[in-house]
Structure 1
Amino acid sequence: MFDRESHRDEAEVFSDLESLCHSNGYLHTIAYFCFRDNTVRCGEEIQKEDFLEQYSTDRLLRTEISTLIGLACTVKSNLELPTPAKMQEYIDKTESLLLELHHSMVPDISNLFKLDTNNQLDKSYNPFNKGTFLREPIFYGGESAYHFQYRDLSKLKYKNDEDWIIENKGYSINDLFVVIESISSLQLEKINSILPNVLQKNSDEWTVLDAYIFTINEVEAKLSIPLSKPLIKKVIESFVSIDSYEFKRLDDFNQKNAFPIIKIDDNKYLLFQNYSLLEALYESPFFWFWNDKSYRNTAMTNRGNFTEDFSVSRLKSVFGNNRVFQGVNIIGKKGVTSGEIDVLVLFANRAIVLQAKSKKLTLESRKGNDLSIKNDFKKAIQDSYDQAYLCSELLLSKSYKLEDKYGQSIDISNIEFQEIYPVCIVSDHYPALSFQAKQFLKYKKTDIIKAPFIMDVFFLDVFAEMLNTPLYFLSYLNRRTNYSDSIMATHEMTILAYHLIHNLWVDGADYIHIGNDFNTVLDMSMLTRRDGLDSIHTPKGILTKYQGTTVGKYLSDIERINNPSTVDFGFLLLKINEQSIQQVNETIELICSKSLVDGKNHDFTIGFKNGEGLTIHCNYNDYNTAKEKLEDHARKRKYYTKSKKWHAICIEPSTKNIKFGMSLDFPWKYSKEMEQATSRMVKPLSTFNSKTKIMPKKIGRNEQCPCGSRKKYKKCCL
């Protein structure tokens, strides 16, 4: 246990940890931690509880295990097996030192406050934008990506660098990935079989280290295509570090992150964390290129193109090809380019202005250098945001022309933008990205230009995978940016996971923190979709509650129609709860049934606590008549309830299809004329609840069936 009273200096604790990692046979202890904390153990069926263990506070983070590996490998590897007693001593001491190391990184509480010249508390002082406070979230912030994202995105990231890799490394990109996939498959197989093998031995011989050791012959046997042993060895040794290196403080460059494979002899290797190998596959090749000065500029160009191209691809999967534009130039008078948008998305009266960057957090920043942290953030995020905001402002002006990278004109002259979202995206893992954005980002927002959304390519990948339609995507984007100052989580994935289950609403709360354990269902879903896990494909919640309902059909229709008025109605539908949706469905069925029977107009109206309301008309009227009646009714309802916004929809009785919709959005203002027009108006339903139920009139056996068949009820649906 850690004793707060005997608070030691970080360097002293780190030195003790280094000495421990140099102990005889310590590699067996690292193997124990990898098996305990990086492995999901389950029965025949994988349960949510199996994944919850990965978010236990008792487990070591991968960054902590990587630190142990890095320290252990600064001396010659020792595979001697410790006695069980010595092994337990190593385990206990490691956990104690890592806990002490964590606490030693936390600044003294006195640094949280600052006095002004009058010896009063300086309320403008923010300690969390200081390097001393940022070191901890940077190191302990967790992973940015799933392992399969590093694997799959690497193929896209380096596809244009293949000629250099062939010439300088002696293998193709396909060769590289075939070998890496073979190692991953081999390690998974060994981990799954290690326990039965261990339990057959005497307890003095228990170790799981063998699960992490592999040979060239074993890799060759798992290959999906035949490759020569020398070529396999070239790939493996691209991720083997030099024999000796210095690792004297936590923030030093850890060679084992870039080169995670440990060479035991000419044929045998050791890999503790397959995740680290896939991360190195995504990160390290760029540094190979960087060492070739003649290729640096090309590598930088390819890296930037990847970020932009990948963003375009994922956004097109949500919005379609004709709503996503790349390399957009905003051209003013005399042909002068006033702004450049990397990726522009247009949907109804909404826009996403995305700017892509490929900047990383430098080593000096990881060490807590205030100036370096702010400089890195400016290059990676602030400059990108400033450009996005400028371009968002230009979109609101009618005096500019837009052209994409192919010179094709983009016509926005008829769009009255209601919402514009500036989005900044980075291509690499940027530790504590959302936390740093909250501390450092200087931004503006208006009624139309929303607060910025900062993300990496890995989050965009998951975002577009799970919320893969325009309404779902934009609805979440709206809520996430509106709550940018109210929500805190270790990672953006956690907030998205919460939304998928509970619908993201924090009204009435000034501030909420979302725990990492919400990630479990998202983890299971993504692993099922991308990595062959037989588990949850779609989490129960926001994505399932509309399935098979009239409301669900309306959401699809609204996205197809792509009309600003009905889009607002779609966003309203995504806000209401499951019980309300059920009752809206039942009420639509009721008024359509009535119209089918009597041929008359029927409607219902509900009001919502957030200052919005909804009126639905069901009739056979022609467009002009129906529009006039619906707008008149909606205006009166909006006035009567003193609402700021009112949605109105007209539906066709037999198909229940949306004929058209409108949205009235303007501040309430007193009117003597409207007072008279609404004097006898009945108060609308107040948001559906458990007591709000509209029951249909009882139908006689000999009456016409409400289904519209024109048969008697007793000979039809009865």
Structure 2
Amino acid sequence: MSEGLSTEQELFNELEMLCKSPGYFHVIAYFCFRDNTIKYVEGEMGVDDVMQQFSMERLVRTEISTLIGLACKGDLDMTHPGPKKIQEYIDLTQSLLDDLHKSMMPPMHEIFHRPETGEATYNPFSRGKLLRESIFYGGESAYNFQYRDLSIRKYQNDNIWFVENKGYSIEQAEKIVSGLLLLQNDKISDLIPSQLDNLSPEAWTMLPAFIFSIGELTDKSGVDFETTKKLVESFVCPSGINKNNFSALDDFNPLNAYPIIRVNESEYLLFQNYSLMEALYETPFFWFNADENYKVKARENRGIFTEDFAAERLKLVFGEDRVFTNVNLYKGKNIAGEIDVLVVFSNRAIVLQAKSKKLTIAARKGNDNSLQDDFKNAVQSAYDQAFICSKLLNDSDCRLVDSSGEELVFNRDFEEIYPFCVVSDHYPALGFQARQFLKYQITQEIKPPFVMDVFLLDVMSEMLHSPLYFLSYINRRVEYSERILSNHELTVLSYHLKQNLWVDNDISMIQLGDDICADLDLAMLTRRNGAPGKATPEGILTKYKNTTYGHLIAEISNLDDAATIDLGFMLLSLSGDTIEQINDGIDHLCRLYMEDGRSHDLTLCIDEGKTGLTIHCNNDTRNLSGPRLQNHCNKRKYASRANTWFGLCIDPLNKKIKFGIELNFIWAKSDEMDELTKNMPAGQNLKDGIKINFKTKTRYGEKVGRNDLCPCGSGVKYKKCCI
């Protein structure tokens, strides 16, 4: 730490004095340009360009926001102090911030040398003093454009209040903040060459790029001058808020809620456009709360938004007819539970409970009771409701009635039920807190909970655009919940899109670095902000898109059939080498059929024989090929001593799925099956790097006549079956 300083508060006070120095605004402008701007040459933006945002030297936005809040406690002195002084300020700022970061961590003896350390339930990471660091430095859970776009959805029912009390609609607000983003991008792009050409290096500064006038913003946004000014002024810190109350790192920083700074009568300053978009999403909460006549209605609207938005995004994945809202579960005449959003797809279900709760200032300061109370209100209560409702789903005595009063009737024999807990706002270190605090149960059908905010659900539904991909991901994500460490859930999703999320059984824990998220960041920037980059990360969604395997996955995604869906989950869990072998195998079977017009099959043993897949390729009718495939799979499953086995019948002319079957029961020894399988050739045991062997296998034994019953056990004559 800096000489003579030892406590967090002393470091904070020294940082405040530095931020009030003459000309310090030029230093903040430098940090904002260096750490919040993606620089790239003309043409397509690449992942390497986004990787700049993951530099270890970069200040996170909460640190820059702290500098801005402290600087605004002093006079708006924007005189240029000269390059030498600016460099001194930069070096001292980074040194103080490093020391401040270290000071937030309690001493090791305070963590591990406590009376309760020896207790089995002791978890040092559930203590507020340790969580403070992850809350402050955990970063953002949302992209800036999500705050902008979701604000329209969040406040659509409050639009009349905005017009009457603020002088603009939420749609106009979105246009203005979007225009300001474009304006600042233009200013940054124009400033660098103009400085190099027209100014002495002694006068170089990035500060002008962050200063704007109402006239400039009006021209860029297309919204009239008066309305634009009202929006800008509503995000300037009101005179009634005392900026000096920001006197500790965890205090309320008014420049987060009101990020626009008035420079003079005609000019304004905005350092972080992200802060303005976040404020558009968050700050109206305080305005509504101050209106005694409206705050109750506003809270109702917040709850409606969370549920409606979650349902809207899930409908994009599963379709309108598989997503239900406000489902009451009746035991007799009494309501035993209520599901905010229910998704039913084949023998899978998602039970989503939504909450609109924030992390309080007391919790951010590390107060243990406040942290746990906030978590209980925001997450634990949502999970408890979700678990009760999940148990009732498989209860045949329980009736389900949707928001329109219609009773829901569908197959209730769910194999997997996923409880979702969704919060509507940025909840710092949400995943880390869930790991420490959440108490949950699992059953054979009810899986571990998935805790998230609306922003993650938005991205998941954007990238995992089919039921099969979506459910396959959440299955593995929740099963690995205790074995994956990451600062952000988006990082885990990005890893999955690139590599196919898989953790070997002999690995107890993996940690994912933040930079893994660069591919997903670029894709979302391209999709939502029009960046010139790739809209889909290279990986599971692109590599096999136009292959036989890719077409099978696409077909299965649209089939609401339990056996075929289970097969799809198994296929999505395979390694790249195994997928290549399946591609080659099916293509080869189809070629053989085109040559001789006969039925051909391939059996693959997967996961060291724990499961397997038999593929039949023929043009027979289902009543002929169905029993044949069923019997073949039964024998293969028995011979491999597997508990599950899949069968797939492929049309050799177009490689489309005709039907699929699934055998799922515990293996048991049988003398009859021993006799039936004694001469059965071994299936292909798939291992990475080993190609499928298509050499003909000869079966030795008693000769079977054309009109004899087929030895496969189908009950059909040999000439119409396995011949």
**Category of TM-score, reference length = shorter chain:** over 0.9
Letter in 2 for 1:148: F
**3-state SS of the aligned residue for 1:44?**
coil
Indicate whether 1:574 and 2:572 are aligned.
Answer: yes
Aligned to 1:233: 229
Of 141, 163, 169, the residue aligned with 1:166 is: 163
Aligned to 2:477: 480
Of 8, 16, 19, the residue aligned with 2:17 is: 19
Structure 1 length as normaliser, TM-score? 0.93
Of 527, 540, 543, the residue aligned with 1:542 is: 540
Indicate whether 1:417 and 2:414 are aligned.
Answer: yes
Contact preservation (8 Å) 1:545, 1:578: no
**3-state SS of the aligned residue for 1:561?**
coil
Distance of 1:416 and 1:687 partners within structure 2:
32
**3-state SS of the aligned residue for 1:327?**
strand
Distance of 1:250 and 1:525 partners within structure 2:
34
Shift of 1:537: 1.3
Letter in 1 for 2:473: Y
Letter in 1 for 2:135: I
Distance of 1:695 and 1:602 partners within structure 2:
11
Aligned to 1:288: 287
Indicate whether 1:496 and 2:489 are aligned.
Answer: no
Distance of 2:37 and 2:48 partners within structure 1:
13
Distance of 1:83 and 1:589 partners within structure 2:
70
Contact preservation (8 Å) 1:114, 1:121: no
Distance of 1:347 and 1:182 partners within structure 2:
41
Contact preservation (8 Å) 2:396, 2:412: no
Q: Is 380-389 or 534-543 further displaced after alignment?
A: 534-543
Indicate whether 1:470 and 2:467 are aligned.
Answer: yes
Aligned to 1:705: none
Letter in 2 for 1:147: N
Distance of 1:132 and 1:602 partners within structure 2:
65
Contact preservation (8 Å) 1:429, 1:456: yes
After TM superposition, the structure 1 = structure 2 runs for residues 62-461 of structure 1, keeping only pairs within 5 Å, are 62-114=61-113, 121-199=118-196, 200-225=198-223, 227=224, 229-243=225-239, 244-245=242-243, 246-333=245-332, 335-412=333-410, 414-461=411-458
Indicate whether 1:506 and 2:503 are aligned.
Answer: yes
**3-state SS of the aligned residue for 2:37?**
coil
Q: Is there any run of 5+ residues in structure 2 with no aligned partner, and where?
A: 697-723
Distance of 1:415 and 1:614 partners within structure 2:
27
After TM superposition, the structure 1 = structure 2 runs for residues 1-40 of structure 1, keeping only pairs within 5 Å, are 2=1, 8-40=6-38
Shift of 1:589: 2.0
Shift of 1:643: 1.4
CA deviation vs aligned residue, 1:305-328 (integer Å, no higher than 9, x gap): 111111111000001111111111
Distance of 1:6 and 1:681 partners within structure 2:
81
Identity percentage of aligned residues: 50
Contact preservation (8 Å) 1:403, 1:410: yes
Shift of 1:115: 5.5
Q: Is 183-192 or 688-697 further displaced after alignment?
A: 688-697
Distance of 2:368 and 2:16 partners within structure 1:
27
Letter in 2 for 1:254: N
Shift of 1:688: 4.7
User: Residues 351, 93 of structure 1: CA spacing in aligned structure 2 closer, same or farther, 3 A cutoff?
Assistant: same
Runs of 4+ that moved beyond 4 A: 114-117
User: Residues 521, 473 of structure 1: CA spacing in aligned structure 2 closer, same or farther, 3 A cutoff?
Assistant: same
Aligned to 1:620: 619
Contact preservation (8 Å) 1:9, 1:104: yes
Distance of 2:668 and 2:5 partners within structure 1:
64
**3-state SS of the aligned residue for 1:488?**
strand
Indicate whether 1:52 and 2:51 are aligned.
Answer: yes
Aligned to 1:711: none
Letter in 1 for 2:206: V
Contact preservation (8 Å) 2:149, 2:174: no
Letter in 2 for 1:124: T
Aligned to 2:598: 600
Indicate whether 1:533 and 2:531 are aligned.
Answer: yes
Distance of 2:557 and 2:408 partners within structure 1:
20
User: Residues 646, 92 of structure 1: CA spacing in aligned structure 2 closer, same or farther, 3 A cutoff?
Assistant: same
Distance of 1:273 and 1:12 partners within structure 2:
27
Indicate whether 1:551 and 2:549 are aligned.
Answer: yes
Count of paired positions = 689
User: Residues 439, 600 of structure 1: CA spacing in aligned structure 2 closer, same or farther, 3 A cutoff?
Assistant: same
Q: Is there any run of 5+ residues in structure 1 with no aligned partner, and where?
A: 698-718
Indicate whether 1:517 and 2:515 are aligned.
Answer: yes
Shift of 1:6: 7.3
User: Residues 167, 631 of structure 1: CA spacing in aligned structure 2 closer, same or farther, 3 A cutoff?
Assistant: same
CA deviation vs aligned residue, 1:197-247 (integer Å, no higher than 9, x gap): 22231122111100011112211222324x1x3332211110000344221
Aligned to 1:710: none
Contact preservation (8 Å) 1:198, 1:208: no
Contact preservation (8 Å) 2:25, 2:207: yes
**3-state SS of the aligned residue for 1:476?**
helix
CA deviation vs aligned residue, 1:238-284 (integer Å, no higher than 9, x gap): 00003442211000000000000001111111100001000000101
Aligned to 1:712: none
Letter in 2 for 1:504: L
Contact preservation (8 Å) 2:616, 2:649: yes
Distance of 1:691 and 1:455 partners within structure 2:
40
Shift of 1:83: 1.8
Q: Is 103-112 or 357-366 further displaced after alignment?
A: 103-112
Contact preservation (8 Å) 2:483, 2:510: yes
Contact preservation (8 Å) 1:357, 1:425: yes
Shift of 1:417: 1.0
Structure 2 length as normaliser, TM-score? 0.93
Distance of 1:513 and 1:252 partners within structure 2:
31
Shift of 1:154: 0.4
Contact preservation (8 Å) 1:328, 1:342: yes
CA deviation vs aligned residue, 1:395-421 (integer Å, no higher than 9, x gap): 011111111101122113x34211100
**3-state SS of the aligned residue for 1:341?**
strand
**3-state SS of the aligned residue for 1:405?**
coil
Contact preservation (8 Å) 1:590, 1:696: no
Letter in 2 for 1:19: M
CA deviation vs aligned residue, 1:502-530 (integer Å, no higher than 9, x gap): 11011131001100101111111111111
Distance of 2:493 and 2:314 partners within structure 1:
17
